Structure 1
């Protein structure tokens, strides 16, 4: 009997110790791993690197960034739930990718399998032309498109992407017919615009930073003008209800306890308020958001509804 009681006590103490190790009160107490499901150098990597420089200031611990590219992010997302759910491994997550990919076919995961805990920014879609373009305003491009159906070509970062969805919305709202040309990422699509392979590009606003005066941005899909581009009008200013882009955040394995999910969301939220981080992001053309774990269900549900409608327009689903 005594042995049984002792065994039970040991078990209980062990469980208590384990719970204490996972307690948000002392989380994190060791370095964390941040997996980016793309190659280095893209918007997901840049924004994570900006976070990394603030991570230790906020948590007292470092975060180590690792890359697991493949299948447009699907390779990493399909393996997320096989990782330990102890809070020390997190992964970058993107929309509309994680909605459109499963709708388009089998990618090893379903949207509802993933557990995002915070979306901290988006890169708004924008229309670019090269500096030598005949189009100085969005109005001029639209006028040409109306007179020449199908001749305006937009380079974009892949099929079934945010750029692709934005081009579909633009055609509908401006009542024009343009041709979207998908490329294998932002870099190649910008190269196409710069080289004149396409007349314009539906790209992310961040491309305007890296290319400088070589590109002219005609309109941006943000609620307000971007600090980095104060002279560029929003689509809304010009009469078109086009707001959005690629949303990026942080996800955890499904086995991660609720309290640790909230703790990680709180960390990301605190980093979002650091002045140096805010400046780096805004100077880079990113738009900060603060969609925490407590708001996640509603946010994802609305995006799924929006992107499902977009998938029908793209012909992914009927």
Structure 2
């Protein structure tokens, strides 16, 4: 082989090796790309499966110390033990606007499951019907109903009345003097009083507080004369008495307290506390949250703790909770229209 043939052979060999290398590299790139796509999918799935990776905030839209706050803290601590991993659920009080401030905070949060709300009927249903809130009840995903609340009308034990009839007589004899506390203007506690006020032509004054706890404190301190709130443990306070219950039936806890319905009034208002999340939360995370709270609610010790703080345990899954909210929207709209508060 002469020098020219040898050189040509070497050049062709180099080109052949380069071509093979390029083909091999392209094949490896394709393999890596495919592997990368698979890894991305796995990563997304792992992210869902690893929820939660940090603590979850449960926004309670009222001040500390009230019935809803007490229930929220009990259920949050218990549900934390049933979450995957070692993360916990932390209660954050965000009072104001009859609960609107807290639910607005939940509404403005990411739908990633790390901010959820402990909702009650007033701020979730009634307030958006009356106020220009940034949210409506449809903007949340109901996760689970925890308890049914029975609002009560409280007065001091030393008041000159001890039943509905005596109280009505007193306020009619003292027009414009009786002040009662509420946890928000459009909460079910105040809607009850407004209906009764209209039916009996009463001259009474509502005083809003940032939760039932502060309202009860003001009542005991003599700043107001009554309180239409969820009583929590206040119903057992020797300084207070319960005048009436606006629910559809008597409470299992306060069996001696009559309902307004028993007294001949077509006035019924009931509420609840349940877990809601911003709209758009994934079904996987909804299921994780639901299961954690449901397992907590099934614990006899948790039930005992809730009942000892005068909470009526009432489980409802997300679908049942949604149906109740939709029914409440219809009922509250009719009530508010009858009262002339909305068109």
Instruction: Pick the TM interval, shorter chain.
Output: 0.7 to 0.9
Match of 1:287 in 2: 312
Correspondence 1:46-61 to 2 at 5 A: 46-59=70-83, 61=86
Match of 1:300 in 2: 325
| Selected match of 1:217 from 220, 227, 242 | 242
Match of 2:39 in 1: 13
Q: Check whether the contact 1:156–1:163 (CA below 8 A) recurs between aligned residues.
A: no
- Structure 2 distance, partners of 1:224, 1:282, is 17
Which deviations, in whole Å up to 9, do the C-alpha atoms of 1:17-52 show, x marking residues without a partner? Answer: 3223314xx655664332333433333321121113
TM-score (norm 2): 0.77
TM-score (norm 1): 0.83
**2:159 pairs with 1:138:** no
Partner SS, residue 59 of structure 1: coil
Match of 1:41 in 2: 65
Which deviations, in whole Å up to 9, do the C-alpha atoms of 1:137-186 show, x marking residues without a partner? Answer: 223334556x649567350313222211011233466x453524223243
Match of 1:159 in 2: 185
**Larger C-alpha radius of gyration, 1 or 2?**
2
**2:114 pairs with 1:88:** yes
- Deviation of the 1:11 alpha carbon: 1.8
Which deviations, in whole Å up to 9, do the C-alpha atoms of 1:174-215 show, x marking residues without a partner? Answer: x45352422324345435544555554323232634x71111
- RMSD across aligned positions (CA): 3.1
Q: Aligned residues, how many?
A: 313
Match of 1:129 in 2: 155
- Structure 2 distance, partners of 1:292, 1:115, is 11
Which deviations, in whole Å up to 9, do the C-alpha atoms of 1:279-313 show, x marking residues without a partner? Answer: 22222222222222122332111011111123224
**2:283 pairs with 1:258:** yes
Partner SS, residue 202 of structure 1: strand
Q: Which runs of 5+ in 1 are unaligned?
A: none
| Selected match of 2:140 from 97, 114, 121 | 114
Q: Which runs of 5+ in 2 are unaligned?
A: 1-25
Match of 1:247 in 2: 272
Deviates more, 1:192-201 or 1:152-161: 192-201
**2:56 pairs with 1:32:** yes
